[in-house]
Amino acid sequence: MDALRLMTRRNVVRGIAAAAASFTFPCPSRAQSAARIVVIGGGFGGAACARALRRIDAKLQVALIEPNKVFTACPFSNEVIAGLREIEAQQFGYDRISAEGITVIAQAAVKIDPQKRSVGLADGTSLAYDRLVLAPGIDLRFDALPGYDEATAAKMPHAWKAGEQTILLRRQLEVMEDGGLVALAVPASPSRCPPAPYERASLIAHYLKAKKPRSKIIILDAKDAIPQQRLFEKAWKELYPGMIERISLSQGGRVVSVDASTNTLVTDFGNYDAKVANVIPPQKAGRIADIAGAVDNTGWCPIDPVTFASRLVPDIHVIGDACIGGAIPKSASAANAEAKACAGAVASLISGASPAMPKLDGTCYNTVAPGYAFSLSGSYQPKDDIFAEIEGSGFTSPVDASRETRLRESDIAQSWYHTITAETFG
C-alpha cells in the first residue's frame, strides 16, 4: 500500500482535507509523476488497465481494489458447465500484478466521494485518488424478473458470473434424468456477452447428446435476432438435430416471471416446467458505479469515448461491461481493449497531453462443440460521441465453412483465451 494513501477512520479527516486541497490547487509535480490512480474491479477490464498504467509510466501509483483473491473468468465457463473443462482452468490470482508494483487491495469498494476524491472500503478504511477507473462489470437485476431473486438463483442458476453458479448449473445437469427439459431464459439487450447464451445451449446439447440423449433444450428469448444466428442454427441442425428449440421474442419467448417452487418459466404465451432452469436475468453496471453517481437511467455508465471519462462524475473513468460502449459488445475482448486505451488516456491527461483517438479491436469466439467454433470481430472508433463500428471492419466466419475451418477457429479460440488471461493476470 506504501505510497498510496490508505486512510483509516482515525485519519480520514486529514485525508479528506488533503484530497480537497489538491482538488482546489492541483499539484503539478504529482500530476506529472506520482499521480494516484485507483482502479476498482480486478476483472478483464480493471486488471488490464492497472497493468497498462504501470507499463506506460512506472512512476504512477496504481492501486487495484478487488474483494476476491482469485478471479474466475466467464469466457470458456460454458465448457465447464458442459463438463469439458474444470473450473480451475478459469481461475487466476493477483500475485503477478502485485509483483509489478501495483498495490492490490483485497477489499470491496463500498463508497465513493467524487468531491473529496476518495474511495471507502468495506473494512472502513479509505483511499484517496487523483483519478479513479471503475471496472466493476455487471450486477444482475434481481428486481427485474418477478419471482427471481438472489435466493432463487440457488435453485435456478444464472451462471452469468462465473464461479459457484457455474458449478451449480453443471451439477444440476449431471443429476438430471435422461429425457428432462433444460430451459434457458435469455434477457433483452444490452447484456454481458450477447452470443454466450447460444454457445451455452450448444455445449449443454453436446453434453446431453452423449449422456442423456432423450433430453431437450428450450431457449426462451427476449430478443428476435441473435448474433451469428445463421451459424448457430446451422450448427444446431448439423450437430444436435431436434435437441434445441429457440422461441424468439416475437414468437412469445420472453420470460415474464418465474416460479422457483415448480421450476417454471412463465411467458405471455405459455408456461415451461423445466428440470433444469438457467435463468439469465437483465443486467446493469456493477453497483459501485451507481454509488459513484456514474450510472444513468439506462442502468449503465455514459462515457466520453475518447477518454472513457464519466459524463456524470469528474475524475472518474469507466471501462468494461459497466460502460455504455455504443456498438461494442460487452465482452472480455472489448474490456481489455478499453482498458489499454483508457490507461493511455488517463496517463495523457495526467501529463497534460491530449489523449489519442482510440481504435478498439475485438473478436468473440463461439464454441458449439469441441473442435467446432466460429467468430465475429470488428474495430470501433468514436463517432458522434459514441463508439461506432468502423465501416468494413466487421468479420464473421462464413456460414458454409468447412469442418477444418471450424477446427482451426476452435484452436484460435483456445489461444485467444491463453493470451488474454496471460496478458491480464499472468
Distance, in Å, from the CA atom of 243 to the CA atom of 258, rounded to the nearest integer, reads: 23
Give the separation between CA 368 and CA 204, rounded to whole angstroms: 9
CB of 323 to ligand FAD, least distance (A): 8
If binding is defined by CB under 6 A, does position 286 make contact with ligand FAD?
yes
Work out which of 118, 125, 310, 331 binds ligand FAD, going by CB under 6 A: 331
Select from 5, 16, 36, 41 the one that contacts ligand FAD (CB under 6 A). Answer: 41
Residue 282 interacts with ligand FAD (CB under 6 A)? no
Least distance in Å: CB of 271 to ligand FAD? Answer: 26
Stretch that binds ligand FAD, among 39-47, 146-154, 169-177, 217-225 (CB under 6 A): 39-47
First-to-last alpha carbon distance for the chain, in angstroms, is 21
- CA pair distance 159, 165, nearest whole angstrom: 5
Closest separation in Å from C-beta 212 to ligand FAD: 21
Grid cell for residue 249:
421474442
Please identify, using beta-carbon distances, which residue of 265 and 335 lies nearer to ligand FAD: 335
Told to check if 364 binds ligand FAD by CB under 6 A, we report yes
Calculate the alpha carbon distances from 410 to 69, 402, 405 in Å: 30, 13, 9
Of the candidates 313, 319, 346, 340, the residue with the CA atom closest to the CA atom of residue 331: 319
* Gyration radius (Cα) of the chain, Å: 22
- DSSP assignment string, 187-211: PPSS-SSTTHHHHHHHHHHHHHHHH
Instruction: Please list the residues that pair with 383 across neighbouring strands.
Output: 386
User: Is residue 108 part of the contact set for ligand FAD (CB under 6 A)?
Assistant: yes
> Looking at 15, 120, 136, 355, which residue binds ligand FAD (CB under 6 A)?
136
In one letter, which amino acid is 185? A
Residues 79/368/284/65 CA torsion (nearest 10 deg): 40
Contacting range for ligand FAD; rule: CB under 6 A; set: 42-50, 232-240, 243-251, 254-262: 42-50
Phi first, then psi: give them for residue 263, nearest 5 degrees: 55, 45
Site for ligand FAD in 46-105 (CB under 6 A): 46, 65-68, 71, 74-75, 77-78
Angle 421-346-326 from CA coordinates, rounded to 5°: 70
Nearer to ligand FAD, 267 or 336 (CB): 336
According to the binding rule CB under 6 A, does residue 288 interact with ligand FAD? yes
Query: Minimum Å distance from CB 346 to ligand FAD?
Result: 16
In whole angstroms, give the CA distance from residue 377 to residue 362. 6
**Which one of 52, 135, 301, 318 is in contact with ligand FAD (CB under 6 A)?**
135
Nearest to 308 by CA among 111, 39, 33: 39
Chosen residue from 196, 208, 328, 342 binding ligand FAD by CB under 6 A: 196
How near is the Cβ of 371 to ligand FAD at its closest, in Å? 16
Q: Of 75 and 299, which CB lies nearer to ligand FAD in the complex structure?
A: 75
Using CB under 6 A, list all residues that contact ligand FAD. Answer: 40-46, 65-68, 71, 74-75, 77-78, 108-109, 135-137, 160, 192-193, 196, 286, 288, 320-322, 330-333, 335, 364-365
